[in-house]
A and B are shown apart, each in its own frame.
Chain A
Amino acid sequence: MEKIKKLTWREIPQARLAVWTLIAGEFVIFGGLIVMYILNRLKYESWGEMAQHTNVWAGTINTFVLLTSSYFVVKAHEAAVHKNKAQIKKWIWLTIVCAFMFLGIKSYEYTHEIMHGFTLPGKHLVAEGLGVESRYWSFYYTMTGLHGLHVIAGALALFFVMRNVTKTDKNYQRIEAAGLYWHMVDIIWIFLFPLIYLIH
């Protein structure tokens, strides 16, 4: 790894500064949701039983998919540095395929859970006297759903940036900016996965 001096705040390109600011804002939004989930999770131990009904293997594969896609995005970024359009296209398409895989597995999970009666208003659960536990699923669907929307947004951003860059042959720094956003989506999932699936 070559030694490179850290940038000063005067040198940072404006696209990257803007995306970092956006990421700080998104961290607070997701962080607020996660803080509320943790508070409720600490309050109700019985939510651990509900967590056992999640599909851990689907979640595990999804984590793997997102980690891999993060790797693809940095490769795309590396290709953007060398202005290698073919490579950019290849890595970003791979990332978008990962996004689709993620969403596909997620929808499989949702279907599975809804078929077992873990729906959003949780009528079955409340009828069984599991009103408190039904709110675990409220958090589950809200957090993963909001994350899913970010996956879609990130994939769209990557797609449009790639099309724009490869057509106009300029603004290569945009690949990195869109990539930063994609990594944020990955980081959020890294924290959501153990919070939702692993802690029983």
Chain B
Amino acid sequence: MDIHSSNPGLEHEVVVPKEPDYHGHPNYLKIYLTLLGLFALTVVASLLHNPLIVFFIVFGISIIKGTLVLLYFMHLKWEPTLIWIMLGLALLILLFLFIGTYPDIVPVQRYLVPKA
């Protein structure tokens, strides 16, 4: 029942691109090595003793690593703005959730079990 052949009158050509290579291919090895370098830096930084510095270094590097994977391994750099908007909306919504929930959870001390 193969009725789902592509529709001849589409707004634009889609479905199976003749060439799957729709985007650039960066030097994957270089990106990979950068990621490993950053990763090593994270592990070294976590051995430091000042928790605040560790926090900022570790999360800064995580964000850089995540962005590198997104941009080059997932080719987000070449993807349409639409995809950027969708991912941005996801983060924005999480921000709303965090801000709205924060005052009711974090500063509030409810009933707790006393420590032994």
Chain A interface (Cβ < 8 Å from any Cβ of B): 1-4, 6-14, 16-17, 20-21, 23-25, 27-28, 31-32, 35, 38-40, 42-43, 48, 56, 60, 63-64, 67-68, 70-71, 73-75, 78, 80-81, 126, 128-132, 170-173, 176, 180, 183-184, 186-187, 190-191, 193-194, 197-200
Contact = CB atoms under 8 A, between A and B. Distances in A.
A170 B16 CA distance: 10
B20 A190 contact: no
Interface residues on B, range: 35 or more
B87 to A, nearest CB: 6
A191 B12 contact: no
B14 interface: yes
3 closest A-B pairs (Cβ-Cβ)?
A: A129-B116, A9-B80, A4-B24
Main SS class of interface, A: helix
Contacts, number: 160
B22 A13 contact: yes
Contacts of A1: 24, 26-27
A132 B112 contact: yes
Contact of B32 (A39, A40, A67, A193): A67
B2 to A, nearest CB: 14
Interface in B77-116: 77-83, 86-87, 89-91, 93-94, 97-98, 101-102, 105-106, 112-116
